[in-house]
Homo-oligomer: A and B are copies of this chain.
Amino acid sequence: MKISSFRVLGLLLCSAVLPSAPVFAQAPPGSSDVASLRAQALGDTVAWDIVEGITTEVGPRPAASPKEALAREWAVAELKSLGFANVRSEPYTMKAWVRGEERAQVVAPFEQPLVIATLGNSGSTGPKGLDAEVVLFSDLAALTAAPDGSLKGKIAYVTHTMKANQDGSGYGPYGQVRRAGPNIAAKKGASAILIRSIGTDSHRVAHTGVTTFEPGVTPIPAAALSIPDADNIERMAKRGKPLRVHLLLTPKILENQPSGNVIAEVPGSDPDAGIIVVAGHLDSWDQGTGAVDDGAGIAIVAAAAKRIMDAGQPRRTIRILWAGAEEVGGDGARAYFARHSSEKHVLAMESDFGADRVWRVNFALPESAKAVQERISAALAPLGIVVGHDKAGDGADIEPLIASGVSGIDLGQEGTRYFDLHHTPDDTLDKIDPAQLAQNVAAWVTVLAVAANAQEPLR
């Protein structure tokens, strides 16, 4: 439903900005180049080819796995074939979390199998699993309020009321159920924790994602139920009889596994003008094929950079960062920063929120770049993109750069259906609308065309 309505929108946008006969007075030099690049990018197919390629030829590529290593090989070959300079893989090592088996079923009051996904960093139940009574909590605050020790020998279950919204802002607060819930339950003595998937769909696909235990807290088994399964056990619990679940999770940790970032560049004409980093992440969760998270992102930034490169050398270097290991804590971003922080970065941008259209731009630019910001805003308006007033710089792949004072511009994507798919087996190529993907490329090429050539300092 949404796909087709947006496809129509994409086509409308497309026809609105296609180059037309010069009936109108010419725009000043520079902005007409931007308009031309923007219009051409609405017909982009490079981004589609990248995301089609990586989902088909690589597929799932979890952090520090052999499949992530294969993705780096694939990425280096792809970026070289697109004509970028200085294409290379930059390795580092890290611990890898490996899923193992995952099974759960309600054993009382009504026997039913459950669809689950183990959370990243979850502990193991051991090969025999565990069988325990479930204590239900209506939200994270209720779990937090449970007396210490009250969960001993029990499985905690935490639900929530996350709803879909356009900017994905629900993920911050509701995502805490996943990020913080297991650590809290472990400290209260729970044997394990189940959560309602952090998602907004209604399919039998559970949402995985990373959780974190404090130093000194032994990780307990932790998994998410698909939303229909969460609904089902909540209905069962309302019958008032004790709820018992059998849970089997056998994840493991492998130390010192290889991971890495892949870098490529469009070298700028003025080395003193600084580097613009455009980032996405190469790794994905293991149950989908990493299409919207984040095959689309790496495709968008590379396709936009290629259009800038093909239009003639920009003033500033554009550096593509396809980061490793974003999903489990941003090891790639930290490795990039450790290696490159002494270089002159002036702007960092990330695409990691799916493939639906860009609807808003936010900035974190200095006063000296006010005119740049105005030119970018004006150039994005024909794509239906509005100016927001939140501070830009969002994104795990660029977080250390932004924290160090690098400027940011965020192209905010329509996120209403993002958490239907995020971290599930459903993250597959068919969820990407080619017209909206191309609108993203047009937005990115617009920003880069202005920012990479601006005479004003960006930082």
Q: Does A314 contact B (CB under 8 A)?
A: no
Q: Does A250 contact B (CB under 8 A)?
A: no
B56 touches A115 (CB 8 A): no
Partner of A112, one of B59, B231, B430: B59
Chain A 190-209 per-residue mask, 1 if CB under 8 angstroms from chain B, else 0: 00000000000011110000
| Interface segment out of the listed A7-15, A341-349, A421-429 | A421-429
Q: Does A145 contact B (CB under 8 A)?
A: no
Interface of A is mostly: loop
Task: Tell me the bound Cα distance from A368 to B427 in angstroms.
Answer: 57
Q: Does A232 contact B (CB under 8 A)?
A: yes
Instruction: Please tell me how many copies of the chain the complex holds.
Output: 2
A205 touches B202 (CB 8 A): no
Task: Tell me the bound Cα distance from A265 to B59 in angstroms.
Answer: 55
Least CB distance from A446 to B in Å reads 31
Q: Does A407 contact B (CB under 8 A)?
A: no
CB-CB under 8 A from A110, the residues of chain B are 56-59
CB-CB under 8 A from A242, the residues of chain B are none
Q: Does A289 contact B (CB under 8 A)?
A: yes
Least CB distance from A214 to B in Å reads 33
Least CB distance from A40 to B in Å reads 26
Q: Does A389 contact B (CB under 8 A)?
A: no
CB-CB under 8 A from A113, the residues of chain B are 59-60
The answer to whether residues A203 and B56 also contact, given A2-B1, A289-B112 and a CB cut-off of 8 A, is: no
B58 touches A203 (CB 8 A): no
CB-CB under 8 A from A202, the residues of chain B are 428, 430-431
Task: Tell me the bound Cα distance from A428 to B227 in angstroms.
Answer: 10
Least CB distance from A262 to B in Å reads 19
Q: Does A339 contact B (CB under 8 A)?
A: no
Task: Tell me the bound Cα distance from A458 to B2 in angstroms.
Answer: 47
Task: Tell me the bound Cα distance from A58 to B109 in angstroms.
Answer: 10
Task: Tell me the bound Cα distance from A232 to B112 in angstroms.
Answer: 31
Q: Does A288 contact B (CB under 8 A)?
A: yes
A228 touches B426 (CB 8 A): yes
Q: Does A236 contact B (CB under 8 A)?
A: yes
CB-CB under 8 A from A2, the residues of chain B are 1
Task: Tell me the bound Cα distance from A288 to B113 in angstroms.
Answer: 9
Least CB distance from A208 to B in Å reads 13
Task: Tell me the bound Cα distance from A228 to B292 in angstroms.
Answer: 14
A235 touches B56 (CB 8 A): yes
Q: Can you identify 30 A-B contacts, CB atoms within 8 angstroms? A: A1-B1, A1-B2, A52-B235, A56-B232, A56-B235, A57-B109, A57-B110, A57-B236, A58-B110, A59-B113, A59-B232, A60-B113, A115-B425, A202-B428, A202-B430, A203-B205, A203-B426, A204-B205, A204-B288, A204-B424, A205-B205, A228-B289, A228-B429, A228-B430, A231-B429, A231-B430, A232-B289, A232-B428, A232-B429, A235-B429
- Residue numbers of A with Cβ under 8 A of B are 1-2, 52, 55-60, 67, 109-113, 115, 202-205, 227-228, 231-232, 235-236, 239, 287-289, 424-426, 428-431
